[in-house]
Structure 1
């Protein structure tokens, strides 16, 4: 649970902006999306390997 202390006389829009920034930085949104549906461990591993191959391909392309 995220807590944002609101200072006296602070604009509510500014506090909301701080909340949203903190929400994104703590990756709460990503965790919620991952928990929506179950992924088999083999599929999770496969996507990690595919992502690593993609990134490695980008790095190899930059080196050339």
Structure 2
């Protein structure tokens, strides 16, 4: 559960914007999306490996 303290005299729109930003950053959104649809463990591992290869290729390009 996310808690956003609202300061005295603070606009509710601003507090809502802070809540939305915190919601996205805390990976709650990702967890909810993952629970909607089941993915096989082999598919998850394959995606992780592909992501690692992609990141490594970017790092190799930075070195050159």
* Same fold, judged at TM 0.5 (above): yes
Is 1:57 the counterpart of 2:57? The answer is yes
Where in structure 2 are there 5+ consecutive unaligned residues?
Answer: none
How far did 1:48 drift?
0.3
Aligned pair count reads 64
How does the TM-score come out when normalised to structure 1?
A: 0.86
Structure 1 stretches of 4+ moved >3 Å: none
Where in structure 1 are there 5+ consecutive unaligned residues?
Answer: none
How does the TM-score come out when normalised to structure 2?
A: 0.86
Partner of 2:26: 26
